Amino acid sequence: MVNPGFQAFLDLKKYIAEKLGVSNGPIAAKVAGAVQKDMKEKHPGMDAVSLAAEGRKHFDKNINYYKQMIPITDKVAGVGSKEKHSKMNADYLTVEVVNTSSRIYITINK
């Protein structure tokens, strides 16, 4: 049986991954860890399960702050894949990746 606090963190990490559109891996864990840290500072006496529940609300209210924690390479769809052209529109920039055989060109427009 999994520790309830650890399971609550895993559920928070999955929730964050889905909201940010990233894999449920290291990037989501980094953001979830930051949310958890912020919640522990804000609510020092709260148990881990309650912290995770409050963390979802806190994350939703501050999503733009936490989006900044995602490395730019993880924001670009198609990097490392066989796609020739990929575009991703974020709130603050547009990234276009063009892969021509051995060269990759990245254009960033604000």
pLDDT band at 91 (very low <50, low <70, confident <90, very high): very low
pLDDT in tens, 49-84: 999 999 999 999 999 999 888 876 544 444 444 444
Output the CA–CA distances (angstroms, integers) from residue 20 to 12, 16, 41, in the order listed.
12, 6, 23
Residues 6+ apart with CB under 8 A from 82: none
Identify the CA nearest to 74 among candidates 64, 88, 60: 88
pLDDT band at 2 (very low <50, low <70, confident <90, very high): confident
Dist CA 23 CA 13 (whole Å): 10
